[in-house]
Amino acid sequence: MRNSTVIRESWPTSGRLAAWPAGVLIAALMALAVAGCAGGDPLVGLFLYNEADPYILEFGRQILGAAPSGFAIKKFDAANSQPIQNEQIDNFLDRRPDLLVVNPVDRLGAYAIIQRARSAAVPVVFFNREPLAADMALWDRVWYVGAKAIQSGRLQAELVIKLFGGDPAHLNAFDRNGDNVIQALILKGEQGHQDAEIRTREVLHSFEERAFRVEVLALEIANWNQAEAYEKIHHLLRQYQSAIELVISNNDAMALGAISRMRQNGWFNDADGNGVIDSRDPDWTPVVGIDGLRAAEQAITEGYLYGTVKNDSLSMALAIIELAEFLLGRRSGSSLSATVEDGRYIWVDYTPYVYQP
């Protein structure tokens, strides 16, 4: 009889043993859940439309570089696909971030991003591509940091006007044929692209306003792309040869592509052999770009590229970070270095950039 008593007494023990694995499992799951919630740094998502675009690649780096310590920034590249970017944003919002910084692929699709962020109550800062005003008005926690495309075209025209002497009636020696009309090639970004359209339209419009006569010898579309510009300008150089007095490019990449082909075709001479192309050489033809890539600055220093209009990504990056700090409650609204227009827009000026010895 004692035997059975002993075994009965061991029952609760075996019961505990059986319950043990379940307990451990639950404890482990809870630990995981707790670990998942941990982390004090504000989580910020940075969504770039396409890192294959050198300007955006650099922009992204500048934003990351400008971020102070204590910011956990996750960067995503949408590879120029809005569905991919949508998926990235949708998934990222499940991680309960504090802020989204978005360079949309498709500015028309921004309304969906705003609505999605709004449902998750996560503020959004757009940059580089401006959503429609109607979409910006969907929610009061949406901001935009960017530059006005109109300004870029105008400043580009200013650079050219300055180079040609500033007097529409009497152009200087850069008007090689002396007809008081600037014969120009235009390298356009992407047909139908808002920036390409505005830049092209505004540069021509500015000349018109200032009464400078410009004859567009040819307008070529090179899709913002250096290699495409290099290919497409080839036949134009052959066709117009020295009649070309100016090359206007919608961006630096295409300008650099054009310069590569021009150099290959023997357009630039280093007369004094100092490693710098001399703009006083009578065969020198000015090329102007927009964006202010590092490679473009280099080309300006070397004398190949006359000038560019800096789409000041560094200032924009700083403005984005300042705005982010403000939105995360780490900075007062009054300490922002940029002015906020209409409560939600920060405009960063383009700046002309030419060689300064």
How far CA 324 is from CA of 102, 268, 336, 341, in Å, comes to 12, 46, 10, 16
> Smallest distance, Å, CB 157 to another protein?
16
* Tokens, residue 84: 């991919």
Nearer to another protein among residue 84 and residue 276 (C-beta): 84
Q: Which is nearer to another protein, 48 or 67 (CB)?
A: 48
Distance CA 294, CA 93 (A): 34
State the burial class of residue 46 (Cβ atoms within 10 Å of its Cβ: 0-12, 13-18, 19+). buried
Contact predicate 73/48, CB 8 Å: no
Q: How far is the CB of 73 from another protein (least distance, A)?
A: 22
Q: Which is nearer to another protein, 57 or 216 (CB)?
A: 216
CB of 134 to another protein, least distance (A): 8
* Minimum gap (Å) between residue 7 Cβ and another protein: 5
Q: Which is nearer to another protein, 34 or 134 (CB)?
A: 134
Q: Which is nearer to another protein, 240 or 326 (CB)?
A: 240
Give the sign of the dihedral formed by CA 36, CA 37, CA 40, CA 42. positive
For another protein, give the closer residue by CB, 150 or 328.
Answer: 150
CB nearer another protein, residue 110 or residue 258:
110
Distance from C-alpha of 180 to C-alpha of 144, rounded to nearest angstrom: 42
Q: How far is the CB of 1 from another protein (least distance, A)?
A: 5
- CB contact at 8 A, 150 and 198: yes
Q: How far is the CB of 66 from another protein (least distance, A)?
A: 28
Q: What is the DSSP letter of 338?
A: S
What is d(CA 214, CA 205) in angstroms, rounded to the nearest whole number?
Answer: 10
Give the SS3 label for residue 139.
coil
| Torsion angle defined by CA atoms of residues 167, 168, 169 and 170, in that order, rounded to the nearest 10 degrees | 50
Backbone angles phi, psi at 80, to 5 degrees: 60, 30
By the criterion CB under 8 A, which residues form the site for another protein? Answer: 1, 3-5, 7-8, 11, 14, 18, 21-22, 25, 81-84, 86-87, 89-91, 105-109, 111-113, 115-116, 119, 132, 134, 191-192, 194, 197-198, 201, 216, 219, 221
CB of 167 to another protein, least distance (A): 25
**How far is Cα of residue 169 from the mean position of the Cα atoms in its chain?**
38
